[in-house]
Copies of this chain bind each other. A is one copy, B any other.
């Protein structure tokens, strides 16, 4: 599986245009994303980077969405999962893992938005899900609740990063927030008594404080809210048998 040794006899050798592979395409896409943002990772721009035409990429990648999902999966490798086996309260360690995930999205703002739709299924994503489940298990959260909770936790983290990063990059989004704040402040106690009553609390706190509170309260809700499944199936014998022997043919 070794590549042929390069024989550098040609002096007008180009900068080693690498053969197109899925890995090479994703690597280049990640590099391009880090340097220019996801909005520049287009099929055409990426093809240009790879010194080919856009049509060639379609041999390896089905469409732009799949390309973006592949970038996300790659980036998830940077999430720090070490708190899983660390010390301290399990909730704090869970918040640390979720915070690291959010941080990764923040560092690449353009990615967060697409992460809300892209559903990666690669090893880095699975490892993250496993880490969160392990911490919820350690905290004594029932399996059914933990299973549904992991989705919500990743969802709020992703959505928060997407919102925040939209503001960073898009001045129009910032204007929208500004006018929302103005509208909230101007809300009359007559027509909007509760908005007037809570006042600045609607927009108070640092993003950091708010995010930590969100994690804490969603964890709390997950811990204390039974799923309907708990009443439906009391025993856990509904699990699929391991796929030894007969392969399940239905998809």
Contact = CB atoms under 8 A, between A and B. Distances in A.
Which secondary structure dominates where chain A touches chain B?
Answer: helix
A155 to B, nearest CB: 5
B159 A116 contact: yes
A227 B214 contact: no
Given A172-B63, A205-B148, A162 B116 contact: yes
Nearest to A144: B201
Contact of A240 (B137, B160, B185, B187): B185
Contacts of A20: none
A175 B166 CA distance: 27
A129 B160 CA distance: 18
Interface string A184-205: 1101000111110111111011
A47 interface: no
Interface string A123-152: 001110110011001000001111111111
Sorting the interface of chain A by its residue count into under 10, 10 to 19, 20 to 34 or 35 or more gives: 35 or more
Given A117-B162, A156-B155, A180-B121, A133 B204 contact: no
B213 A227 contact: yes
Nearest to A35: B251
Contacts of A214: 148, 152
Nearest to A242: B189
B183 A209 contact: no
Given A205-B148, A205-B228, A239 B116 contact: no
Closest 5 CB pairs of A and B: A221-B221, A217-B221, A147-B201, A133-B194, A217-B225
